[in-house]
Amino acid sequence: MKKHNFSAGPCILPQEVLLKASEAVVDFNNSGLSLIEISHRSKPFIEVMDTATALALELLGLEGKGYKALFLQGGASTQFLMTAYNLLETKAGYLNTGTWAAKSLKEAKLFGEVVEVASSKDANYNYIPKGYSVPSDLDYFHCTSNNTIFGTQIKDFPTSPVPMVCDMSSDIFSRTLDFSKFDLIYAGAQKNMGPAGTTLVVIKEDLLGKVTRAIPSMLDYKNFIEKDSMFNTPPVFAVYTSMLTLQWLKDLGGIAAIEKENEKKAKLIYSEIDLNPLFKGFAATEDRSTMNATFNLVDEKLKDTFDEMAKEAGMNGINGHRSVGGYRASMYNALPYTSVAALVEVMSELERKA
Ligand code: PLP
């Protein structure tokens, strides 16, 4: 039985993408070679890279606006330091909204002065700080659009007087935004795009070249821009699969179309959380993420029963992160509405039984 995959990442990918990717692993475009055997310098792979980067910019509405899309390695975690390495000359500002945001802030401190512009650590990150302003004497301002662990999501981004850098690992391509507000966006592939192993970086080219420090070649964005993400051997399978997912999303109607689906899924689970007296939501209502819904049982004594019922109904990956406990239903782009309906049915069934 195919599972309802609510995993926070690596997570569900569209079935047709998995099928096409698996065919390419055996025989890429009837070439008699596997995708992972061909040279990344060959024409067919260069076409894959070009298509993937073009699709990323097109879906984000950023083509022709001075941005370059890159597929890099090292996960979003490497971007925590790479952004600072390339952009932090004296002072940067960070919005501390969760574990990943705090990690990015910690890395940046290795390169210069870092101001915590606002934080929600005081309440175990269950809300998004508001009412702060971004100082104008910063090299850049860094935020995390969606806090995967805590289930909060920035709905209104600040107007920033300095370049804005955003970790969009867990909600990229899931909702319409004015992406041109951001000067650098990065996202690990393994939630809304493809397998782990590549990280999408979308960067405004005029952001670079402003720091005086020497940057090691593999951490210098300029090298990857110059070589079209082929400064060294790229992760061909992860890039190819990401390209297939981006094509899938474009064929569906792009971000605006998937956003509607994501909103329907989120509405369904949050209404159950609010109406079912056995559950309570973790995140502040107005900051609830459409990607990761975090919730707890009111009475922990029901845990074993609920877990058993969820397992029997084919649920995968609904356990909450250890820093929040309870449950987390991650509802990335490829998760069907029917999976959320199935989970909601288990939650209602528990209420009927209890
Ligand atoms: N940033 C966010 C918002 C994440 O959710 C994650 C992982 O889940 C990361 C960064 C770290 O990503 P990676 O494992 O690709 O380094």
Domain that holds residue 50: 15-252
Instruction: Please tell me whether residues 173 and 312 are part of one structural domain.
Output: no
Closest by CA to 68, choosing from 265, 203, 188, is: 203
Instruction: Please tell me whether residues 215 and 272 are part of one structural domain.
Output: no
Instruction: Please tell me whether residues 311 and 244 are part of one structural domain.
Output: no
Instruction: Please tell me whether residues 230 and 273 are part of one structural domain.
Output: no
> How far away, in angstroms, is 114 Cα from ligand 1 center?
21
Report d(CA 97, CA 109) in Å as an integer. Answer: 17
Answer with the one of 224, 252, 280 that is the final residue of a domain.
Answer: 252
Does the residue 21 lie in any domain? yes
The answer to whether 124 and 147 have CB atoms below 8 angstroms apart is no
Instruction: Please tell me whether residues 227 and 278 are part of one structural domain.
Output: no
Does the residue 186 lie in any domain? yes
Task: Give the CATH number for residue 186.
Answer: 3.40.640.10
The reported pLDDT for the residue numbered 292 is 98
> How far away, in angstroms, is 188 Cα from ligand 1 center?
6
Q: How many residues does the chain have?
A: 354
Instruction: Please tell me whether residues 73 and 207 are part of one structural domain.
Output: yes
Q: Measuring from atom 12 of ligand 1, which residue has the nearest CA? A: 76
Instruction: Please tell me whether residues 159 and 299 are part of one structural domain.
Output: no
SS3 call for 52: helix
The reported pLDDT for the residue numbered 138 is 98
Q: Are strands 279-281 and 292-297 parallel, antiparallel or unpaired?
A: antiparallel
> How far away, in angstroms, is 77 Cα from ligand 1 center?
6
For ligand 1, which residues put their CB under 6 angstroms from it?
Answer: 9, 75-77, 100, 144, 148, 167, 169-170, 188
Mutate to test the pocket of ligand 1, among 143, 170, 172 (most ligand atoms within 8 A of CB): 170
The reported pLDDT for the residue numbered 182 is 98
Instruction: Please tell me whether residues 56 and 192 are part of one structural domain.
Output: yes
Angle at 85 between CA 84 and CA 89, to 5 degrees: 75
Does the residue 318 lie in any domain? yes
Based on the structure, what is the number of domains in the chain? 2
Token pair 């650590």 in the structure block, residue:
121
Does the residue 3 lie in any domain? no
Residues 6+ apart with CB under 8 A from 339: 4, 5, 6, 331
Residues 6+ apart with CB under 8 A from 275: none
Q: How far, in whole angstroms, is CA 34 from its chain's centroid?
A: 29
Instruction: Please tell me whether residues 339 and 245 are part of one structural domain.
Output: no
* Catalytic (active-site) positions: 100, 167, 191
DSSP string, 310-321: HHHTTEES-BPP
- What are the residue ranges in the chain where pLDDT is below 50? none
Does the residue 145 lie in any domain? yes
Report d(CA 89, CA 85) in Å as an integer. Answer: 9
